[in-house]
Amino acid sequence: MKKMIMVALVAAAGLALSAGTGRSSLGFSLSSVRGTYASTSHGTTDGTGTLIADGAGNITGGTETVDDGGADVCKGSLGGSYTVNPDGTGTLTVIFTTTATISGACPSSPVTNHAAIVVVSPKRVEVSGTDPFLLESGSLTRQTPPDHDDD
């Protein structure tokens, strides 16, 4: 109960701050998310891999290995789309297509998952699943090649 009250207070404070100007001064957009991101997710299933965003709202590639916490471990390729609002919130739709079964039974047709996102910076995006009966959260961290790690 205390946690719910704290979340409500933080949300109300954020609304009050943004209401003072009548607009967001943050100015995020689709181009705020572009490049190759390392992805991790935890919840009903756990996954890790990469996601490639084109800066125009499309997931153009990536790979992921997913473990359902049981006997099923699947590798797959990613596609999909995303939106970004000026305040940094948005949505993510990821289409997972199995490319290899490591163990157990993996889906034979593409699986689509949906999430809410918030862009923290062009280098970091926080993700929270929105599909019923699938509890997921994770993050996307833009990768930097080793020879550019001072960026």
CA distance 3 to 9: 10
Query: How many C-beta neighbours within 10 Å does residue 53 have?
Result: 27
Instruction: Give the pLDDT of residue 18.
Output: 38
Task: Determine the residue type at 45.
Answer: T
Give the CA angle between residues 29, 114, 77 to the nearest 5°.
90
SS3 9: helix
> pLDDT for 18-59, tens place per residue?
333 334 456 999 999 999 999 999 999 999 999 999 999 999
| Whole-prediction pTM | 0.79
Q: Which two tokens stand for residue 68?
A: 């359902």
